[in-house]
Structure formats: structure tokens, C-alpha cells
Amino acid sequence: MITINNKKDCTGCHACSNICPKSCISMDSDSEGFWYPVVDYNECIKCGLCIKVCPIINKKTVKNEPKAFACTNKDDAVRMESSSGGIFTLLAEEVIDSGGVVFGAGFDGDFNVIHSSADKKEELEKFRGSKYVQSKIGDEYKKAKEYLNKGVKVLFSGTPCQIGGLKSYLGREYDNLLCIDNICHGVPSPRIWRKYVDYREKIAGAKTKNINFRWKDAGWSGYSLAFYFENGKEYRETVGNDPYMKAYLKNICLRPSCYECEFKTLNRQSDLTLGDFWGVNSILPNFDDNKGTSLVFVNSKVGEAFFNKISDKMNKTEVDINRAVVYNSSAIKSSAYNPKRGKFFEDSEKLSFDKLVSKYCADSIIVKVKRILRKILKP
Ligand SMILES: Cc1cc2nc3c(=O)[nH]c(=O)nc-3n(C[C@H](O)[C@H](O)[C@H](O)COP(=O)(O)OP(=O)(O)OC[C@H]3O[C@@H](n4cnc5c(N)ncnc54)[C@H](O)[C@@H]3O)c2cc1C
Ligand code: SF4
Ligand code: SF4
Ligand code: SF4
């Protein structure tokens, strides 16, 4: 049965817990707040299926020739609600229009991030927008398989390791499956995210009503994290100043597997990959209106067929993939390990959120000077 000797060798994908015929694997949080499989040895029948489906133990190599595109959804309202160019919504609507079901990451009632499914367009809102925290798969691979076996079209979206886990769990190809992954910086700890939500609610004196990780009204490139509270209060702070996003982008609270990610490659298991086209203002300056442009990799024939189906609903231009990833190294390179990570997690129990982040994620003098200069020089 599955045993984790080194935490970096488990992405928390849930393939092992979904396959177990005795349901004797629970995914439990460790002290940092990341899920790992824990086997109930009294129930285990030693069938070995959990080892057989683990995508880290059974590495899969794929060889494809992806094409890359700069894309924007022609519907500006959807684009503004989405993280980059709003391409996920177009694909999801296409699948639902053909009677299919969409799996993705959304908030539960307490703003924890979980995977679930939707078979109506009105429900897609819950998946729209990136949530920068690890999403819990739960039993969703099992549910996706049930739909696939009934011949229902399934769109499954997730991080590259979640798509790797799904493919491994399914164990065979399905004609009715479309897999979408994202360019992935890494996933922060759900426990640190919980601490942050609690901290914001304490300051606001109310429960959270909604959260937007990518509030773009002041522009896509200078996006903010926004909280809306039940008492009408709001909190908004730019990505460079919000303490949670600071901790995320300083790589201090990522899952151990994210520092040596095996899924960062241009030869992906997904059919389509979505990301922010951060280099668009240099590569295609006329395309950039600062409302968000997606970088889309078309990885497979299935992906190409779906991409062509939504073509008339988006603006798109093909780009050289190698040039595009120069501006988006997360596509192919793991985030650098932060040497203060261990101490950060140790102190995370004791310190309040603001004190924790000021202690471990303070900006360097250079960054501070640059920020002051930007303010002074701003026209
Ligand atoms: C954890 C994470 C890290 C990312 N890192 C990068 C990066 O470094 N560089 C880059 O260019 N792009 C990154 N992205 C992708 C980017 O933020 C957009 O999600 C992507 O461009 C799709 O945008 P969209 O406008 O088409 O659709 P949107 O509506 O913004 O996308 C929503 C899609 O994201 C999925 N999703 C949301 N949150 C999660 C989650 N926690 N786990 C799994 N799936 C999720 C939803 O299921 C849905 O499929 C990251 C996304 C996530 C979730
Ligand atoms: S060996 Fe079989 S029964 Fe035991 S934990 Fe793994 S999948 Fe479950
Ligand atoms: S199948 Fe996924 S969750 Fe289970 S041990 Fe392997 S990587 Fe971890
Ligand atoms: S960086 Fe790699 S291991 Fe971490 S969430 Fe993304 S795909 Fe998974």
C-alpha cells in the first residue's frame, strides 16, 4: 500500500484514495495543511492499486507538438470576471451546450477551495477565476469516471498534477474527455489560506460574502485580491502589497512537490493548457488592452477540435511557443525553494497573519525604492 517517504513525492492528487476498493485511504492534512494519503491498515487488502495509480511512482511521458496562441474572449464582461482572457468559460459553455459536465475548482461555504462539477451554464461562475490555494479533489475523479462510462462528455480542469492524477486513475483514454490544465506557479497551503480568511474576517468584523483573487478593474497587469464581507465592507489590495499574495509569490508556503514539479513541461497530459500571456505587450503589443490575454497551448487533436469549435467567439493569434514561455517560466520551471519556508510554517501557529508575513516576506530595499520611484514618477 501507498507510503509517503518524502513529501515532495506526493502532489495530493487523490488518485490513490479514489481507486482504493476498500475506501481505506483518507487524505489527511499534515502540520503544514497539505493533504497526504493515510491508510487504515485494518481494512487494507493489499491489492496494490494505490501504488499502481500514483502518477509520481508511475511516471508517464507524453510526446506532443503543442501550438501556442494569444487569445481573448470577445465577451468583455466574462473576460473581466476571469483571470486572464476568459477562455475557460468558452470551453466550459461549449461542453455544457453539448450535454456535457464540467469539473473545476470553486469555493465551499467557508471559502475553502474544492473541486466539484456543473452541468448548467449558470453554475460555471463558481469555477471562473483562479483560486491561489490547493483545491481538494475529494471523490471527483470517481464521479468523472461514472459520467465518462455513461458516454457523457466531460471537461475536467485542474492543475497539471491533478490532470496527471485523473489520467492515471482512469487508466485508459476516453473519446468523451477533455482535460484542461493551467500554467502553474504552485499551490499554497490550505491551512495558510484559512488563516488568512480568518484574519480578514476578524478585521472586517464579519463573515466573507465573496472573494476575487484577480480583481481587474484597475487593469489585468496590476490586479488585486478582493474580499467582500457580509456587513458591506470590502478589502482590496494589489498583488504586490496583499500579504497572502506576497507570501505566495515569495514561494514560502507552496506544497513541497511544487519545488520539484514533474508536470512542468511542454509535453503535457492535458489537451489544452491555459495561462496568462504575460509577455503579450512585448510580443503582440497591439493585442494587449490590459483586460487580460490568455496564453493557450493546444496539446492534442482533441484539444485542437475544441479550440476550433470556440474560434469564432475569441480573438486569437498564433505565437512561437518558445518565445511565449520566456515571459512565463512557470510553464516549464519549478518555483525556487524559499530557505525560510520551514521557519515560516513553524511560526505560522504562533504569529498573527500580518506579523508572520512582515517577518518572513518583507520587501528588499531595492523593491521598496522601486515602488517609491514608481509612485513619484506616475503621471
Ligand atoms: C494555482 C494556480 C497557479 C497558476 N499559476 C500561473 C502562472 O504561474 N502563470 C500563468 O500564466 N498562469 C497561472 N495560472 C493560470 C491563470 O491564473 C488562469 O487560471 C488561466 O489563465 C485561465 O484563465 P481564464 O481567464 O481562461 O479562465 P478562468 O475563469 O480565470 O479560469 C478558471 C479555471 O481555473 C481553474 N482553477 C481555479 N482555481 C484552481 C485551483 N486552485 N486549482 C485548480 N484549478 C483551478 C478552474 O477550475 C477553471 O478551470 C495559475 C492558476 C492556478 C489555479
Ligand atoms: S493496497 Fe488496495 S486496499 Fe490497501 S490501501 Fe491500497 S488500494 Fe486500498
Ligand atoms: S496518488 Fe497522488 S495523492 Fe496518492 S500518493 Fe500518489 S501523488 Fe500522492
Ligand atoms: S507546481 Fe506542479 S506539483 Fe505543484 S500544484 Fe502545480 S502541477 Fe502540481
pLDDT tens digits, residue range 180-217? 999 999 999 999 999 999 999 999 999 999 999 999 98
Element (H, E) at 238: strand 234-238
**For 34, phi and psi rounded to 5 degrees?**
-100, 145
Q: Whose CA is nearest to atom 2 of ligand 2?
A: 47
Element (H, E) at 317: strand 314-319
Cβ–ligand 2 distance for 54 under 6 Å, the answer no
Q: By C-alpha distance, which of 159, 167, 100 is closest to 131?
A: 159
pLDDT for 55 equals 97
* Rounded CA separation 254/114 (Å): 17
pLDDT for 1 equals 87
pLDDT tens digits, residue range 50-78? 999 999 999 998 998 999 999 999 999 99
Which of 10-14, 180-184, 217-221 has the weakest average pLDDT? 217-221
Q: Could you tell me the distance, in angstroms and rounded to a whole number, from the CA of residue 38 to the centre of ligand 2?
A: 11
**Which residues have a Cβ under 8 Å from the Cβ of 184 and sit 6 or more positions away?**
159, 160, 161, 258, 261, 263, 264, 330
Q: What is the mean pLDDT of residues 238-261?
A: 97
* Rounded CA separation 177/157 (Å): 11
Cβ–ligand 3 distance for 56 under 6 Å, the answer yes
pLDDT for 362 equals 87
Show the domains of the chain with their CATH numbers. 7-53 (3.30.70.20), 67-187+254-331 (no CATH)
Q: Could you tell me the distance, in angstroms and rounded to a whole number, from the CA of residue 129 to the centre of ligand 3?
A: 26
- Of the chain, the percentage scoring pLDDT greater than 70 comes to 96
pLDDT for 321 equals 96
Cβ–ligand 3 distance for 92 under 6 Å, the answer no
- Of the chain, the percentage scoring pLDDT greater than 90 comes to 93
Ligand at shortest distance from the CA of 79: 1
pLDDT tens digits, residue range 353-378? 999 999 999 877 666 676 666 656 65
Q: Is pLDDT above 80 for 302?
A: yes
Q: What pTM value is reported for the model?
A: 0.96
Contact 176, 152 (CB under 8 A): yes
Question: Which amino acid belongs to residue 295?
Answer: L
pLDDT for 368 equals 67
Contact 318, 111 (CB under 8 A): no
Q: Count, in order, helices (H) and strands (E) of the chain.
A: 14, 13
Q: What is the mean pLDDT of residues 129-158?
A: 98
pLDDT for 376 equals 63
Cβ–ligand 2 distance for 371 under 6 Å, the answer no
Mean pLDDT, the chain, whole residue set: 95
Q: Which residues pair with 114 in a beta bridge?
A: 106, 136
Q: Could you tell me the distance, in angstroms and rounded to a whole number, from the CA of residue 160 to the centre of ligand 4?
A: 6
Residue with cell 465577451: 75
Q: By C-alpha distance, which of 65, 67, 71 is closest to 284?
A: 71
Q: What is the mean pLDDT of residues 122-147?
A: 98
pLDDT for 327 equals 94
Q: Could you tell me the distance, in angstroms and rounded to a whole number, from the CA of residue 191 to the centre of ligand 3?
A: 19
pLDDT for 363 equals 77
Contact 309, 96 (CB under 8 A): no
Contact 157, 102 (CB under 8 A): yes
Angle at 371 between CA 370 and CA 372, to 5 degrees: 90
Q: Is pLDDT above 90 for 25?
A: yes
Q: What is the mean pLDDT of residues 310-322?
A: 97
Cβ–ligand 2 distance for 170 under 6 Å, the answer no
Strands 177-182 and 154-158: parallel
- What does 8-38 look like in DSSP terms, one character per residue? GG-----HHHHH-TT--EEEEE-TTS-EEEE
Q: Is pLDDT above 60 for 80?
A: yes
Cβ–ligand 2 distance for 45 under 6 Å, the answer yes
